[in-house]
């Protein structure tokens, strides 16, 4: 205890040098927590939006369906198997039918993915009921704000849509935008047209068929359904986990640079401190303090930088992180244009485990870099140290 | 009054009668006969064609020069000669399969599925349009609807309606020049009746005793403001021997 008190007294006595090191360390500490919280916030938001707008309780895919391979789409349609049909009838799932098509807004050709969805569904949070309320003669279409922006379409616009039916014959007709939905998930927005399922089944001559079926949240995802493949929620979330893992790996380089900056400052001041305080070290040893305790004293002095950095970081970084966690930082651009799920405001999620882990990491690194120069003390002879010389 | 009316009727009959007689004397061909007559002009055992494709974009036009070796309706090999960006690109069609070779990547890619619907070199033609090799008579029910003047020339009007599933276009309408027996204009319709594509012969030429389109224009009718794509034949030779190796996949890399 005496050692810690002495270390703290010495540290505070060093004045500006200590506070400069503490400031740099606290900056690194807060920035690491801030960025880790941002990635966690991004992950949680992406998962929540994906669940609400697209995945719900998982899905059953047609055996030929592979969203990464558009070649499979021509064959990826069929009547869902018996057990899944029972879930459909009970309202615990909804079928989605996909096809590729082209639209001609203002005569410009754009390739699109045409998706059929039951208008009265309540499994995902897309406002599909507007499709059922349409009474016009054109094909009613619901699109996302990102799609509307890229195709320069507005509500009420009429344009030609072209597709091929189940037999490969071209067909085309007029479609009308009945609503533009604001949705943060580009997976249900960019390059996509949402049509009433029955209408699309008629257009494609695929009565009762679907490409995949989305199960409702909380509904049991059936495993034994023949050739169709059940896809649990985690299957869809893996994509985001992979992105976060990749991003976190990149961020670790930045963390290393920040920590190296803080560590170099502390290391440097430790070396200087030991050089300038040789007489003090010699006196302590002459008074009977064993070498290991002198090393411990200097290591504790260095290590205490991390405690002061944590306190300073809490003072200036705490309110900042609290603000980011509650209010968020508004983005200066529309995130839907980037093709990834991002909240319009960056919200950080700071778990206690993450904060404690970061604190521990900073403390260990600071203590290690404090110990390395302090080892030199073990080689000092008290007589030489007292005269101010060192070997 | 009665006399006046009778005189007008006699005058009208005297004007119409010779026309009616000539119409009666002109035998309306069947769709099969028209298709056979067109095939006699357009198809050969083999043909070697050097042509230019002028793709009109919204801002600028591009001219792509190519040389093709064609055997019947099932084998075709095309090598693009210009511009430098496309030079060396090759395409091989064997029955219902299509491969392309790009010298930039030194890879052969098979074009299938949805890629067949994509534009050929940015033109108004799709790969699928290039792939059509079934005899029209086999897959469409044809009806000759009569004759019309097209650009001042007398033409037969023929409508073809798909008689089997799986054809890209459900209905086609063609204007066939009575003298040249060439399709001077063609319109391709969707199942809904919407006009999807059109093509017309802007200039014709006589080669080896047969009439053949010299400049052919294709247009995607759903693209507003599209000026279409011109296909200009610079040289064509019929029934020249083509070595079988020309239609081998290995020829793509040569």
**CATH number where B82 lies:** 2.50.20.10
Tell me what the mean pLDDT of segment A26-44 comes to: 84
Work out the pLDDT band at B25, boundaries 50, 70, 90.
Answer: low
Residue recorded with tokens 């017309």? B200
* A54 min Cα distance to partner chain B (Å): 25
pLDDT at A72: 81
pLDDT at A338: 65
Tell me what the mean pLDDT of segment A351-378 comes to: 83
- Is there a domain that residue B209 lies in? yes
User: What backbone torsions phi and psi does residue A77 show, to the nearest 5 degrees?
Assistant: -155, 145
Q: Which residues contact B127 (CB under 8 A, 6 or more apart)?
A: B98, B111, B115, B116, B117, B118, B120
- Is A155's pLDDT higher than 50? yes
- Is there a domain that residue B18 lies in? no
Question: And the tokens for A319?
Answer: 């309110």
Tell me what the mean pLDDT of segment B108-136 comes to: 76
pLDDT in tens, A219-256: 999 988 889 999 999 998 887 788 777 877 777 787 88
pLDDT in tens, B66-111: 999 999 878 899 999 999 988 999 999 888 788 999 998 999 988 8
pLDDT at B10: 47
Q: What percent of chain B has pLDDT over 70?
A: 87
pLDDT at A248: 73
pLDDT at B17: 46
- Is there a domain that residue B59 lies in? yes
Buried (b) or exposed (e) across A94-106, using 16+ Cβ within 10 A?
bbbbbbbbbbbbe
Q: B-chain residues within 8 Å CB-CB of A112?
A: none
Write down the pTM of the prediction.
Answer: 0.74
The more confident residue out of B224 and B229 is B229
Residues of A at the B interface, defined by Cβ within 8 angstroms = 70-71, 73-74, 100, 102, 104, 106-109, 160, 162, 164-165, 167-173
CA A224 to chain centre: 33
Mutual orientation of helices A233-276 and A291-326 as an angle, nearest 10°? Answer: 140
**Separation between Cα atoms, residue B63 and residue B82, nearest integer Å:** 8
Q: B-chain residues within 8 Å CB-CB of A165?
A: 191
- Is B196's pLDDT higher than 70? yes
pLDDT at A229: 94
Per DSSP, what are the bridge partners of residue A170? A164
pLDDT at B4: 46
Tell me what the mean pLDDT of segment A271-296 comes to: 81
Tell me what the mean pLDDT of segment A22-46 comes to: 84
Tell me what the mean pLDDT of segment A170-194 comes to: 93
Range(s) of the domain holding residue B156: 31-252
- Is there a domain that residue B98 lies in? yes
pLDDT in tens, A78-117: 999 989 999 999 999 999 999 999 999 988 889 899 999 9
pLDDT at B14: 47
Q: Please state, as a whole number, how many other Cβ atoms lie within 10 Å of the Cβ of residue B178.
A: 13
Beta-strand runs (E) in B178-228: 183-189, 195-207, 210-220
**Separation between Cα atoms, residue B252 and residue B100, nearest integer Å:** 8
What secondary structure, in 3-state letters, does B49-98 show? EEEEEEEECCCCEEEEEEEEEEECCCEEEEEEEECCCCCCCEEEEECCEE
**Count of structural domains within chain B:** 1
- Is there a domain that residue B8 lies in? no
The more confident residue out of B168 and B10 is B168
- Is A386's pLDDT higher than 50? yes
Tell me what the mean pLDDT of segment A54-69 comes to: 92
Q: Quote the mean pLDDT of chain B.
A: 85
- Check if the beta carbon of residue B79 is closer than 8 Å to that of residue B67: yes
pLDDT at B113: 65
- Is there a domain that residue B102 lies in? yes
- Give the least confident one: A281-295, A308-322, B39-53, B237-251: A281-295
Chain A contact probe: residue of B57, B110, B118, B222 with most A CBs at under 10 A:
B222
pLDDT at A339: 66
Q: B-chain residues within 8 Å CB-CB of A106?
A: 224
State whether B222 and A162 contact (CB < 8 Å): yes
- Check if the beta carbon of residue A110 is closer than 8 Å to that of residue B220: no
**Which one of A102, A168, A173 has the shortest CB-CB distance to B166?**
A168
């Amino acid at each position: 205890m005496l050692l810690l008190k002495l270390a703290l007294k010495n540290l505070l006595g060093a004045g500006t040098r200590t506070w400069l090191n503490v400031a740099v360390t606290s900056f690194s500490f807060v920035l690491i927590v801030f960025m880790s919280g941002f990635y966690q916030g991004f992950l949680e938001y992406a998962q929540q939006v994906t669940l609400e707008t697209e995945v719900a309780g998982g899905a059953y895919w047609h055996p030929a369906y592979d969203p990464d391979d558009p070649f499979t789409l021509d064959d990826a349609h069929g009547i869902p198997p018996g057990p899944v049909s029972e879930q459909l009838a009970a309202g615990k799932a909804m079928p989605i039918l996909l096809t590729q098509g082209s639209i001609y807004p203002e005569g410009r050709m754009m390739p699109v993915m045409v998706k059929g969805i039951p208008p009265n569904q309540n499994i995902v949070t897309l406002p599909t009921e507007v499709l059922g309320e349409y009474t016009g003669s054109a094909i009613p279409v619901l699109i996302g704000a990102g799609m509307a922006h890229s195709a320069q379409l507005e509500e009420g616009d009429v344009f030609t849509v072209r597709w091929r039916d189940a037999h490969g014959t071209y067909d085309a007709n007029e479609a009308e935008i009945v609503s533009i939905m604001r949705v943060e998930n580009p997976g249900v927005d960019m390059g996509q047209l949402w049509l009433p399922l029955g209408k699309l089944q008629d257009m494609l001559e695929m009565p009762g068929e679907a490409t995949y079926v989305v199960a409702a949240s909380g509904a049991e995802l059936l495993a034994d359904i023949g050739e169709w493949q059940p896809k649990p929620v985690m299957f869809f979330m893996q994509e985001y986990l992979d992105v976060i893992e990749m991003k976190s790996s990149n961020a670790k380089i930045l963390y290393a640079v920040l920590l190296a900056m803080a560590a170099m400052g502390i290391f440097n001041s430790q070396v200087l401190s030991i050089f300038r305080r040789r007489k003090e070290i010699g006196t302590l040893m002459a008074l009977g303090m064993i070498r290991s305790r002198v090393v411990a004293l200097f290591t504790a002095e260095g290590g205490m930088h991390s405690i002061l950095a944590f306190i300073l970081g809490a003072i200036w970084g705490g309110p900042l992180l609290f603000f980011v966690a509650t209010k968020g930082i508004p983005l200066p651009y529309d995130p839907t244009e980037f093709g990834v799920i991002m909240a319009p405001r960056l919200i950080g999620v700071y778990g206690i485990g993450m904060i404690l882990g970061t604190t521990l990491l900073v403390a260990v690194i600071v203590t290690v870099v404090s110990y390395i120069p302090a080892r030199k003390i073990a080689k000092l002879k008290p007589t030489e140290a007292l005269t101010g010389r060192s070997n | 009054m009665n006399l006046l009316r009778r005189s007008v009727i006699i005058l009208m009959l005297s004007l119409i009668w010779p026309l009616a007689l000539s119409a009666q004397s002109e035998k309306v061909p069947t769709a099969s006969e028209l298709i056979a007559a067109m095939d006699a002009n357009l198809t050969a055992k083999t043909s070697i064609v050097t042509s230019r494709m002028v793709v009109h974009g919204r801002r600028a036009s591009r001219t792509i020069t190519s040389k093709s070796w064609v055997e019947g309706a099932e084998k075709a090999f095309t090598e693009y000669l210009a511009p430098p960006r496309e030079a060396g690109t090759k395409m091989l069609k064997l029955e219902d399969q299509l491969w392309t070779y790009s010298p930039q990547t030194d890879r052969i890619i098979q074009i299938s599925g949805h890629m067949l619907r994509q534009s050929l070199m940015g033109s108004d033609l799709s790969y699928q349009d290039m792939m059509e090799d079934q005899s029209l008579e086999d897959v469409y029910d044809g009806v000759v609807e009569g004759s019309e003047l097209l650009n001042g020339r007398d033409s037969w009007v023929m409508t073809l309606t798909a008689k089997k599933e799986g054809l890209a276009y459900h209905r086609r309408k063609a204007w066939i020049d009575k003298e040249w027996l060439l399709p001077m204009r063609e319109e391709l319709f969707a199942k809904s009746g919407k006009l999807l594509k059109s093509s017309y012969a802007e200039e014709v030429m006589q080669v080896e005793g047969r009439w053949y389109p010299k400049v052919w224009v294709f247009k995607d009718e759903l693209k507003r403001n599209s000026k279409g794509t011109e296909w200009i034949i610079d040289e064509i030779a019929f029934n020249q021997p083509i070595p079988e190796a020309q239609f081998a996949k290995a020829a793509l890399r040569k």
